[in-house]
Amino acid sequence: MFNFFKPLELPPQLQWKYANEPELIGWRIRARNYNTFVANGMLAFMLLLTLGASMFLYSTYHGLAEIWRWTWCIFFYIVIALTISSMTHQRVNFAYRLTHSGMEHCEWKDFPSWAPPLLRWIAGVTAVIFLFMATIDPTFLIGALVGPGGMGLMSLQMASSKNFRALHTRYHHVFMHWTELTGVTIATNRDIVEVDFSYSKPDSAYLAIGNEYIFFRKKEKQDVIRIIKSQMPANTPCRVAHVNVFR
């Protein structure tokens, strides 16, 4: 229903610049294109806060049976933890194609079509739990309106709002000639290669300077690095170092 492991399909608007050239290597990957050390630290910190909040809830529900106190607190922790991890562990889609002319990649992020039905399921389950708890303490009716009701409204917004969908959708297509590479860094901490580049801007005396991160799986690492080294200019510096992804 949610298609979490659906095979990665290329966006329909993608047209490779050198599609007529034979492909040296190509691959598709979902990657975390940001500083994962910071994101993992934020996740750990927020999980500790959530654990503290869960224990606080456990201490306040004196009138409930022990089994229900634990059930409610564990359910609260799981829901909040999943919500936080969905924010700190987001992934973006990448497709790469390397030819004799250069390095081409497409980066895109689709609207998460699984999110609205997931929110509706969570809202339904929590509503049933809150209504059952309200038979013990009527104050849980307020929680039933605020919690499940809010998630239901959010799922409706996701499903119907074009602006909301546009905010969570993006597309980026880049091509670099091998001669434009000015430096290559092979990361020791992640399965990525950072490439520096510069090229002349059209109708300008200035150079465009920047960098791109090439993401791949561990099994593809040696082939990708070998092809990049064989195609880049002979005087291009190449080093092995720790790489921080800043996006």
pTM of this structure: 0.71
DSSP letters spanning 158-217: HHH-HHHHHHT-EEEEEEEEGGGEEEEEEESSSSEEEEEEEEEPTT-SSEEEEEEEEE--
| Sequence ranges of the domains in the chain | 112-168
pLDDT in tens, the chain (247 residues): 445 456 678 888 888 998 899 999 999 999 988 888 888 998 899 899 888 888 887 777 666 677 777 877 887 788 788 778 877 888 889 999 999 999 999 988 765 565 566 666 666 666 666 666 666 656 555 555 555 555 555 555 555 555 545 445 677 888 999 999 999 999 999 999 999 988 877 777 677 888 899 999 999 999 999 999 999 988 899 999 999 887 6
Structure tokens at 186: 């092979």
Closest CA to 152 of 131, 128, 124, 192: 124
